[in-house]
Chain A
Amino acid sequence: MIQEAKRMGREGFFGSQSLFFATLTLFIMYPFVVSDYYIDVAFFFGIYALLGLSLNIVLGEVGLFDLGHAGFYAIGAYTTAILNTKFGIPVLILLPISAAAAALFAYVVCSPIIHLRGDYLCIVTIGMGEIVRIALINNPFDLTGGPNGVYGIDFPSFGGPFVIDSSIEYYFLIWIVVALSIYGLIRLQKSHIGRAWNYIREDEVAAGASGIDVRYYKLLAFVLGAALAGVAGNIYASKLMCVSPESFTFWESCLMFCIVLIGGMGSIPGVLIGAAFISLFPEIFRPFAMYRMLIFGTVMILLMMFRPGGAWPRKRGAAEHPPLHPGKEGIDG
């Protein structure tokens, strides 16, 4: 029985074990056969994958509208940037600290608003993201460097001789972090936490009535999602060596939102597909110059027309029932 479940879990994700190893080999080989430029493209694919995974916890697993996720991403990036440039703390040591800072921020900000529903929560998260961005521009306490941001962030290291300073190493850094996150998130999906989250997504009132602490689990989703976004912020800041408020606009939050929905809510392989779409599409269509975003918009509409559940919707096991009101998405109206 357990063997069976394990096998199904694996097959649901990669089809089969051999396909999994083929993908793995491809990922390891990739940076050795292409130019630095394409390694960087794959790096940003990884960043978007991590951001997508982080928003997927909030939006995909619990069904909370979060259009201000770039705020958490910004907190992570700026924590790294400020602590590294002002106090010289090595970037890799700041990785968990950035995650914790973003998580703490999420906890403080989301505690009073977690009871809001649907679109009201949506606008408050938008407001939160905008407040973070404007605060960064206005340079409070002379910390954030205003519109120019913070420059001169170190390469990731623990302070010793081990330093990540080439595109290939960055590529492996981000994808190892993504792989670990995916592993953790799959475990989380199957745990009682993941089930509680999905229950809240499908029917919040019933979940509360069955003894699930709705408020606690919603906050937990925000805190974990923010922590993961903080990790992405840390790696992003050290890769670009500078951070500025322009990287954390409402538009960025919208992109993350699209990653989750294009891939399929709550589906981890879906997030990877969505991130690939968002990050690779503009590269592939570069020859079309100014028309490429026109094509991008059109493709987004077409995708939703033909695959409204996402490119790789989450498979529902026998234990999970389809939503009670199809078309209403389980999120309150």
Chain B
Amino acid sequence: MEVFLEQLINGLTIGSFYALIALGYSMVYGILKLINFAHGDFFTLGSYVGYTFLVFGSSFITAHFGLWGGLMAAMIIAAVCVAVVGVVVERAAYRPIYPAGRLPAVVSALGASIFIQNAIMVIWGPRYQAYPASLIPNIHIQLGGLHITVLQIVILTMSFMLLGILYWIIQKTTFGAAIRATALDKDTASLMGIDFNKVIFFIFTLGPALGAITGVMVGMYYRQISFTMGWNYGLKAFTATILGGIGNLPGAMFGGLILGVLEMLGAAYISAAWKDVFVFLILIMVLIFRPTGLFGEKVAEKV
């Protein structure tokens, strides 16, 4: 039972990472029908920006903000920087290509992904970087037989708060309604006075910012970051997006959480080496029986 609960918490932690990245994918997909392959690299970039901030500002941070304050500041700075990069990438690499259709945009997204990944490699070097251990609080607590760290609790709380905020923005605010309307029917939405460019601007700030925050959290959680890690997380997040039903934002959140939990339980009870196989097999099974994902609506075929 303890193993189960511990793995459940681990799974939820990783799942919330996937969910936060998946939201960025899903928003872009919903509006543009574009698989934004560069999104995983926004996440990596955020992780590296946070790392730089923590390493170079370490003495200043501990003196003025304390450990937690420093981590918060790192997240905010990473989010702002990467949001700017996100908007620039959209302007430079995607906007000129929209009129040409979906497939050229996919190649362009791959090109952007290669570019960001290698830019990170050129700037920070090809080796693994480690988040400074002295700056990350390391307090363990025992809850009955459960063994968890405070950091894990903070990360979980933060990601669930972020997911909640996002859910609120998308479901309850006017801007969220604009996004959903645009995702549903771009042309009608713009006839109703929704500014398409504003919506795009919004999703390309919010998505990368969320990715960057996740990147800093992953850096704190695993301590070690590398310039290629975006591929793996991006792939998992994309899987989560599809699992939940593509373009369906709450679906992407749940998809991410389910994926993380399944992965950890699979690692604990089946085999750690085969956990990814397990994840993809479940995805394939789900899609065979529900071809539009767990929460995907049945969409009538357009002719």
Residues from chain B with Cβ under 8 Å of A309 in the complex: 100, 104
Tell whether, in the assembled complex, residue A308 and residue B242 are in contact, meaning their CB atoms are under 8 Å apart. no
Residues from chain B with Cβ under 8 Å of A235 in the complex: none
Instruction: From A5-13, A124-132, A178-186, give the one contacting chain B.
Output: A124-132
Residues from chain B with Cβ under 8 Å of A331 in the complex: 102-103
- What are 17 A-B pairs at a CB distance below 8 A? A123-B238, A124-B283, A126-B235, A126-B238, A127-B280, A134-B274, A138-B274, A206-B303, A261-B106, A290-B126, A291-B122, A293-B121, A297-B112, A300-B114, A301-B97, A301-B115, A327-B100
Residues from chain B with Cβ under 8 Å of A262 in the complex: 107
Tell whether, in the assembled complex, residue B114 and residue A293 are in contact, meaning their CB atoms are under 8 Å apart. yes
Tell whether, in the assembled complex, residue A298 and residue B115 are in contact, meaning their CB atoms are under 8 Å apart. yes
Identify A294's interface contact among B100, B115, B274, CB under 8 A: B115
Instruction: From A114-122, A169-177, A187-195, A226-234, give the one contacting chain B.
Output: A114-122
Q: Residue on B with the closest CB to A328? A: B101
Residues from chain B with Cβ under 8 Å of A298 in the complex: 111, 115
B-facing residues in A44-71 (Cβ within 8 Å): none
Expressed in whole angstroms, the Cα–Cα distance for A138 and B37 within the complex equals 27
Instruction: From A14-22, A73-81, A88-96, A250-258, give the one contacting chain B.
Output: A250-258
Q: Is A273 positioned at the interface, with any CB of B under 8 Å from its CB?
A: no
Q: Is A246 positioned at the interface, with any CB of B under 8 Å from its CB?
A: no
Expressed in whole angstroms, the Cα–Cα distance for A296 and B115 within the complex equals 8
Residues from chain A with Cβ under 8 Å of B119 in the complex: 294
Residues from chain A with Cβ under 8 Å of B107 in the complex: 257-258, 261-262, 300, 303-304
Expressed in whole angstroms, the Cα–Cα distance for A265 and B107 within the complex equals 12
Expressed in whole angstroms, the Cα–Cα distance for A250 and B274 within the complex equals 17
Q: Is A112 positioned at the interface, with any CB of B under 8 Å from its CB?
A: yes
Q: Is B301 positioned at the interface, with any CB of A under 8 Å from its CB?
A: yes
Chain A interface, DSSP helix/strand/loop, else mixed:
helix
Q: Residue on A with the closest CB to B303? A: A205
Tell whether, in the assembled complex, residue A119 and residue B246 are in contact, meaning their CB atoms are under 8 Å apart. yes
Tell whether, in the assembled complex, residue B277 and residue A134 are in contact, meaning their CB atoms are under 8 Å apart. yes
Binary flags per residue of B205-236, CB closer than 8 Å to A gives 1, else 0: 00000000000000000000000000100010
A123-B242, A304-B108, A333-B302 known; A112-B280 Cβ under 8 A: no
B residues within 8 Å of A by Cβ?
29, 33, 35, 37, 92-93, 96-97, 99-108, 110-119, 121-122, 126, 231, 235, 238-239, 242, 246, 273-274, 276-277, 280-281, 283-284, 287-288, 291-293, 301-303
Expressed in whole angstroms, the Cα–Cα distance for A290 and B246 within the complex equals 36
Tell whether, in the assembled complex, residue A304 and residue B97 are in contact, meaning their CB atoms are under 8 Å apart. yes
Q: Is A283 positioned at the interface, with any CB of B under 8 Å from its CB?
A: no
A138-B273, A305-B96, A329-B101 known; A131-B280 Cβ under 8 A: yes
Tell whether, in the assembled complex, residue A304 and residue B104 are in contact, meaning their CB atoms are under 8 Å apart. yes
Residues from chain B with Cβ under 8 Å of A305 in the complex: 96-97, 108
Interface residues on A, range: 35 or more
Residues from chain B with Cβ under 8 Å of A304 in the complex: 97, 100, 104-105, 107-108, 111
Looking at the assembled complex, report how far the CB atom of A313 sits from the nearest CB atom of chain B, in whole angstroms: 11
Tell whether, in the assembled complex, residue A301 and residue B103 are in contact, meaning their CB atoms are under 8 Å apart. no
Expressed in whole angstroms, the Cα–Cα distance for A115 and B238 within the complex equals 20
Tell whether, in the assembled complex, residue A327 and residue B118 are in contact, meaning their CB atoms are under 8 Å apart. no
A119-B35, A138-B273 known; A308-B235 Cβ under 8 A: no
Q: Is A165 positioned at the interface, with any CB of B under 8 Å from its CB?
A: no
Residues from chain B with Cβ under 8 Å of A265 in the complex: 103
Identify A119's interface contact among B93, B108, B242, CB under 8 A: B242
Tell whether, in the assembled complex, residue A120 and residue B115 are in contact, meaning their CB atoms are under 8 Å apart. no
A297-B113, A301-B108 known; A250-B277 Cβ under 8 A: no
Residues from chain A with Cβ under 8 Å of B108 in the complex: 300-301, 304-305
Q: Is A332 positioned at the interface, with any CB of B under 8 Å from its CB?
A: yes
B-facing residues in A310-329 (Cβ within 8 Å): 326-329
Q: Is A135 positioned at the interface, with any CB of B under 8 Å from its CB?
A: yes
Expressed in whole angstroms, the Cα–Cα distance for A304 and B293 within the complex equals 30
3 closest A-B pairs by CB:
A300-B111, A308-B100, A297-B115
Q: Is A240 positioned at the interface, with any CB of B under 8 Å from its CB?
A: no
